[in-house]
Chains A and B, each alone.
Chain A
Amino acid sequence: MDKINQKPRNLKPGNKDYEFWQDTWKRMRRHKMAVIGGTIIIILYLIVIFAGFLAPYNPYKGFKKHFFHPPTKIHFTDEDGLSWPYVYRTESVDWADYEIIRDKKYPIKLFHRGQEYEFLGLFDTNIHLIGVDEPAHLFLLGSDNYGRDLFTRILFGGRVSMFIGFVAIFITTIIGLIVGGIAGYYGGWVDNILMRFAEVIMSIPSFYLLLALAAVLPIDISSTLRFFLIISILSFRGWAGMARVIRGMVLSVRNEDYVLAAEAIGARDPRIIQKHVLPVTTTYVIVRATVSIPGYIIMESGLSFLGLGIQEPNASWGNMLTAAQNVTKITRFPWLLIPGFMIFFAVLSYNLLGDGLRDALDPKVTDSK
């Protein structure tokens, strides 16, 4: 192993850890792409958290006469040159065909009073960052088959996609640590049973297992429950690989002197596992968690895309793409593909961050560069 881990832990309690993380942070900052990725992720989280305020509409509000509406054209100039941005209203002339009516300019209003929403779950308000007066519409990225604003739904759908990966990896990590820790520490038949079970799960092609599990979910459950059940499904599939690696790491420190010493003093097993054994796995767990999140985002969007994940009318980037499944539809209404780019950006940012983090936390790599 590397030298940092071999320093006696109790030389300067607390101080060494601090040095290590400071060092990591320094190495991390050298990775420009990782910093960019991390920044985009933070921005994405802020955007989806404040979705209600940033979005001009309510995600369930459908304008029945304006389905498959192309992105609203925003005008920045008028007869006398530059002007405050404004839009024109449109009217449907044919099936999903709209005509711009230039009788009146509808300026884009800041802190516009529109539909009610709950701000961060704290209080109800109707102030949106931007908006236009009816009968004009502000479809920044077009509208879907029910006439719902795509931009609004992307912001709200991002909540699902961005948080599912986060929560799922958290649960996966906890199960992986517990199972891997127990299996590696006790060994023997406990180890055997737990690891055989992990092997069974890993031997079923992951997406097939997810499909079978997702089909178990009843249709008539609340969206919150569904959200958590999907997380459980993802974690059920995910813990096995992590537990196996952790077991190996635990096994290798199981007979180190400091563990034996703790045992000799009479420390209880859970304490030894928690205080002396599992900390060895910290860097691995952090890196693994970061590099796994994009996988979870992709799996959730895949399930939702197939109609087995998050259900309408709730939005997720995956189920918004279901509308784009039809090729003739996407050639006519290409803006339906935008949620896919959102998945792509989120996953790409996480991959960049994970890559930088892996390099920063693995001194072996940095030494040789």
Chain B
Amino acid sequence: MRTYILRRFLQAIPLLLAISLLSFFIMQLSPGSYLDTMRLNPDVSEELIETMKRQYGLDKSVPEQYFHWLWQILHGNLGESFTYQVPVTHVIKTRVVNTMILSFAAMVIAWGLSIPIGIYSATHKYTMGDNIFTSLAFVGLSIPNFFFALLLLFLIVKFNVPLPINGMTSIMYDFMSPIGKFIDILKHLLVPAIVLGTASMATLTRIMRGQMIEAMRSDYIRTARAKGLKNNKVVYKHAFRNAINPMITIFGFQISMLLSGAALTETVTGWPGLGKMMLTAVRSKDLYLAMAGLMIGSVLLIIGNLIADILLAVSDPRIRYS
């Protein structure tokens, strides 16, 4: 197992290099640079732009820039953000944490609800409850994240629900007690987490239901029932343990979906996460910030897939990595 994890880590290195090359290439294709935008500002002198150009190495050729950037990254330096005028690491650290908080909350909602609903639907196939849940899953699957977020915000304002509609903290946040701070963040988290959570929930419920139905049809379930085991035991000890495996494989995909979905949800709800940062960076052609966003996003994705594989090995003794 340990060698497997090690090997996966080693495999990730060339992958990340290729990702960085591709992203750098794409960012270079982008017309104009941040400095062009600055040049439009009459208050900015030509000398300052020249200094910045040298400082950020933008006067060098593209391959040189790339290797310079790569060399810096290997030393833990992600470069400087043009817009914020601070090292990218400063900007990105809190953003990554915020996105992880949001993704985690969304996952708790999605998994916490979809597994029981999936089991219920599978064991009560084609009943009223199952039909309702299946229809709801279709609705959840079909509603774009950002539109759902807009709708929720609209309802909150319309019906005066005492929930914040923007950002991560209130204005009075700095004066709150630690518990107050925690509750304040939770309140801000609710809308984006529900939006993100329901999106994955729809898919997860459908898969869980399908897997469960398939498991309930297998011979070992018939054997278990023939032995006279209680229904609960058959469902949870026999069927469930086998139905959950494909769900864990999906865990990896879910991270990709969450990161992508988060970008739009964060923009609508003002949650200061990685996706919102990425949008600003891409819009203002903040090269190093955008690169860092792409890289960190990819790293999160690769780690997520690795975790999914490890979890799968833990939950299913038939799977062995060597």
Query: Which A residues fall within an 8 A CB radius of B?
Result: 196-197, 199-201, 203-209, 211-216, 218, 294, 298, 301-302, 305-306, 308, 321, 324-325, 327-328, 330-331, 334, 337, 340, 343-344, 347-348, 351-352, 355, 368
Shortest distance from the beta carbon of A226 to any chain B beta carbon, whole Å: 14
The reply to whether A207 and B31 form a contact with Cβ atoms under 8 Å apart is: no
Task: Determine the chain B residues whose CB is within 8 A of the CB of A204 once the complex forms.
Answer: 19, 22-23, 294, 297-298, 301
Determine if B109 is an interface residue (Cβ-Cβ < 8 Å): no
**5 interchain residue pairs of minimum CB distance:** A207-B260, A340-B147, A348-B142, A205-B259, A205-B297
Determine if B63 is an interface residue (Cβ-Cβ < 8 Å): no
Closest A residue, CB atoms, query B217: A368
The reply to whether B282 and A215 form a contact with Cβ atoms under 8 Å apart is: yes
Shortest distance from the beta carbon of A340 to any chain B beta carbon, whole Å: 4
The reply to whether A348 and B29 form a contact with Cβ atoms under 8 Å apart is: no
Shortest distance from the beta carbon of A235 to any chain B beta carbon, whole Å: 15
Determine if B290 is an interface residue (Cβ-Cβ < 8 Å): yes
A200 to B142, CA, bound (A): 28
The reply to whether A337 and B282 form a contact with Cβ atoms under 8 Å apart is: no
Query: Hey, what's the 0/1 contact readout for B135-172 against A, CB within 8 Å counting as 1?
Result: 00011011111110011011001100000011000000
The reply to whether B147 and A343 form a contact with Cβ atoms under 8 Å apart is: yes
Name the interface residues of B186-222: CB closer than 8 Å to any CB of A: 217
A204 to B299, CA, bound (A): 8
Please count the residue pairs between chain A and chain B whose beta carbons lie under 8 angstroms apart in the complex: 131
Task: Determine the chain A residues whose CB is within 8 A of the CB of B15 once the complex forms.
Answer: 196, 199-200, 203
Q: Which of B22, B142, B154 has the most CB of A within 10 A?
A: B142
Main DSSP-derived SS at the B contact region: helix
Task: Determine the chain B residues whose CB is within 8 A of the CB of A327 once the complex forms.
Answer: 153-154, 157, 165-166
Q: Contact partner of A331 among B154, B256, B263, B279, CB < 8 A?
A: B154
Told that A344-B143, A348-B138 touch, could you supply 19 new A-B pairs with CB distance under 8 A?
A200-B19, A203-B15, A205-B300, A207-B264, A209-B26, A215-B282, A294-B142, A301-B144, A302-B144, A302-B145, A302-B146, A302-B264, A308-B283, A330-B154, A340-B147, A343-B144, A351-B138, A351-B141, A352-B138
- Known interface pairs A216-B26, A327-B157, A351-B142. Does A306 touch B279 (Cβ–Cβ under 8 Å)? yes
Task: Determine the chain A residues whose CB is within 8 A of the CB of B31 once the complex forms.
Answer: 216, 218
Q: Contact partner of B150 among A196, A197, A330, A351, CB < 8 A?
A: A330
Determine if B275 is an interface residue (Cβ-Cβ < 8 Å): yes
The reply to whether B144 and A344 form a contact with Cβ atoms under 8 Å apart is: yes
A207 to B276, CA, bound (A): 11
A199 to B166, CA, bound (A): 36
- Known interface pairs A215-B283, A302-B144, A343-B144. Does A208 touch B297 (Cβ–Cβ under 8 Å)? yes
Q: Which of B146, B147, B166, B302 has the most CB of A within 10 A?
A: B147
Query: Hey, what's the 0/1 contact readout for B271-287 against A, CB within 8 Å counting as 1?
Result: 00001001100110100
Task: Determine the chain A residues whose CB is within 8 A of the CB of B22 once the complex forms.
Answer: 200-201, 204
A204 to B144, CA, bound (A): 21
A334 to B279, CA, bound (A): 26
Shortest distance from the beta carbon of A308 to any chain B beta carbon, whole Å: 8
Task: Determine the chain B residues whose CB is within 8 A of the CB of A215 once the complex forms.
Answer: 30, 282-283, 285, 290
- A–B complex contacts, Cβ < 8 Å, 15 sampled: A199-B15, A201-B22, A203-B301, A207-B275, A211-B263, A302-B144, A306-B264, A306-B279, A327-B154, A330-B150, A330-B154, A340-B147, A340-B150, A343-B144, A344-B144
